[in-house]
């Protein structure tokens, strides 16, 4: 049995009204985890969105990301158990610390061009990211009140993706006058590392679920800390849980499209400074998408199950339109016939359509993942259970991403990658529909 650092009874008295945001309120904790993810995975997203980790040659980045997501796929599932044993703040701190190491490996790669350190740092980051996202999933799905989970998820997603926006501005500003084919400069990586270090420190302010008090006086869970044997059994049970298994296609596909979008659209079609601008807009679109789907999931209809079905239909229709637009764009070029790089200042109308498509990819990504997190949050209310569900989701998601980065590294045709991405996301919608209809209860049931 692991010792319990927070061995006190959960707080059940109604908190006193205050004009200030309580640190132990669900909203404050969701905002705080949003800021932590703004600094760490948000900045990593901006770095990856540059294509090739900001490097002209994508090999080191693709191989490091394969190592990252392979380790991530395992650590995400085990991360839920570690979260339930250590608590969120220690789990998050351990996870956040690995982001700085990974970014430093590309700083060194700028000078020595040896990918071994980048690959090893990627594997370590995979372990750390599994810890971070297991804790994050438990917080955003279990801390909010039942009728506000969609809104709280959208608040988190907005803050988190602001990291991608700011992170996209960093290479855009620092590399503005470098329109030629080149890797990003050292200052870009140093700026990312500063943000990531701040995120690691802020993670220590996250509270365990038993200390978080909702406005009605209830705590998020009565669990204090779990133990190794219990978590081992519960993790194994996930592989036989029909609710969790229905999430597999959505989880696998939800990061599978990143290599195609980042490397084969953004990096292939646009020059260095324009890729930075595109990143700003891609992650900005995610903020818009998360707010939009959050409204649908919380306020569109009275019954929760109906809101879930409507959300799936909205995302499915929008996804079909956007991937159809991607197909129309992809027929114009191939890996054997690369187009001239587009620049936002000099390419005129030729820049507009690919830019709009890339913006729409960001919009869809946020709506799709926010929808899935809402579904996970609607399956239970307890932090202990939802941390396992979220960890399993991230594990499968990361396994898909590991495969996807190697698919891109092995020069699979752009068109084939697009079709596979479109098919995978489309398969997930009817399964999510079944999960909502059979697995989600309306409030009061």
Which pLDDT value is given to residue 253? 94
What dotted CATH number matches 26-439? 1.20.1250.20
More confident residue, 2 or 48: 48
| For range 320-342, the mean pLDDT | 92
Which pLDDT value is given to residue 339? 86
Question: Three-class SS of residue 270?
Answer: strand
Rounded to 5°, angle at Cα 275 from 69 and 42: 45
Query: For the chain, what percent of residues have pLDDT higher than 70?
Result: 90
Average pLDDT over the chain reads 85
Residues 273, 279: Cα–Cα separation, whole Å: 10
Which pLDDT value is given to residue 410? 86
Which pLDDT value is given to residue 93? 95
| For range 185-196, the mean pLDDT | 88
Each residue of 287-326: pLDDT tens digit? 999 999 999 998 888 888 999 999 999 999 999 999 999 9
Closest to 96 (Cα-Cα) out of 136, 36, 138: 36
Question: Three-class SS of residue 213?
Answer: strand
**Does the pLDDT value for residue 231 go beyond 80?**
no
DSSP 443: T
- Two tokens, residue 419: 């079709």
**Does the pLDDT value for residue 51 go beyond 80?**
no
Which pLDDT value is given to residue 228? 73
Q: What share of the chain is helix, strand, coil (3-state, %, to 5)?
A: 75, 0, 25
For residue 9, give every residue at least 6 positions away whose Cβ sits within 8 Å of its Cβ, in sequence order, or none: none
**Does the pLDDT value for residue 419 go beyond 90?**
yes
190: phi then psi, degrees, rounded to nearest 5: -65, -40
Per-domain residue ranges of the chain: 26-439
More confident residue, 390 or 132: 132
**pLDDT band, very low/low/confident/very high, at 11 (cuts 50, 70, 90):** very low
Which pLDDT value is given to residue 12? 44
Which pLDDT value is given to residue 57? 60
Which pLDDT value is given to residue 340? 87
Closest to 250 (Cα-Cα) out of 397, 361, 72: 397
Query: For the chain, what percent of residues have pLDDT higher than 90?
Result: 44
More confident residue, 4 or 393: 393
Each residue of 245-278: pLDDT tens digit? 999 999 999 989 999 999 899 989 998 788 888 9
**Does the pLDDT value for residue 153 go beyond 70?**
yes
| For range 37-65, the mean pLDDT | 77
Closest to 160 (Cα-Cα) out of 30, 48, 22: 30
**Does the pLDDT value for residue 177 go beyond 50?**
yes
More confident residue, 171 or 197: 197
């Amino acid at each position: 049995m692991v010792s319990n650092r927070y061995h006190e009874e959960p707080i059940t008295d109604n908190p006193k009204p205050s004009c200030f945001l309580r640190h132990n309120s669900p909203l404050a904790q969701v905002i705080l985890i949003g800021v932590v993810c703004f600094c760490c995975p948000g900045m990593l997203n901006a770095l990856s969105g540059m294509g090739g980790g900001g490097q002209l040659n994508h090999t080191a980045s693709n191989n490091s990301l394969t190592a990252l997501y392979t380790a991530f796929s395992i650590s995400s599932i085990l991360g839920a158990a570690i979260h339930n044993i250590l608590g969120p703040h220690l789990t998050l701190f351990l996870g956040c610390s690995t982001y700085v190491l990974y970014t430093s490996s590309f700083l060194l790669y700028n000078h020595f061009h040896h990918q071994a350190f980048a690959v090893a740092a990627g594997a370590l980051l995979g372990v750390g990211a599994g810890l971070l996202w297991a804790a994050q999933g438990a917080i955003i799905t279990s801390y909010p009140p039942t009728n506000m989970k969609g809104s709280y998820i959208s608040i988190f997603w907005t803050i988190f993706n602001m990291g991608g926006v700011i992170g996209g501005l960093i290479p855009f500003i620092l590399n503005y006058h470098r329109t030629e084919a080149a890797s990003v400069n050292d200052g870009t990586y140093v700026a990312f590392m500063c943000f990531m270090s701040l995120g690691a420190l802020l993670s220590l302010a996250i509270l365990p679920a038993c200390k978080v008090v909702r406005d009605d006086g209830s705590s998020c869970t009565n669990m204090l800390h779990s133990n190794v044997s219990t978590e081992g059994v519960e993790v194994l049970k996930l592989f036989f849980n029909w609710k969790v298994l229905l999430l597999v296609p959505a989880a696998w596909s939800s990061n599978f499209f990143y290599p195609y979008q980042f490397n084969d659209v953004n990096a292939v079609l646009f020059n260095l400074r324009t890729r930075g601008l595109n990143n700003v807009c891609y992650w900005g679109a995610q903020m818009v998408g998360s707010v939009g789907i959050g409204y649908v999931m919380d306020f569109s209809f009275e019954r929760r199950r109906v809101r879930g079905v409507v959300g799936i239909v909205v995302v499915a229709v929008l996804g079909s339109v956007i991937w159809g637009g991607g197909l129309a764009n992809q027929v114009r070029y191939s890996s054997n016939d690369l187009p001239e790089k587009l620049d936002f200042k000099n390419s005129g109308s030729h820049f507009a359509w690919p830019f709009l498509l890339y913006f729409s990819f960001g919009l869809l990504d946020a709506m799709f993942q926010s929808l899935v997190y809402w579904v996970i949050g609607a399956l239970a209310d307890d932090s202990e259970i939802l941390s396992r569900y979220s960890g399993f989701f991230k594990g499968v998601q990361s396994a898909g991403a590991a495969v996807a980065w190697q698919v891109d590294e092995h020069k699979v045709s752009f068109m084939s990658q697009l079709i596979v991405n479109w098919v995978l996301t489309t398969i997930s919608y009817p399964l999510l529909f079944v999960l909502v209809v059979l697995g989600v209860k309306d409030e009061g049931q």
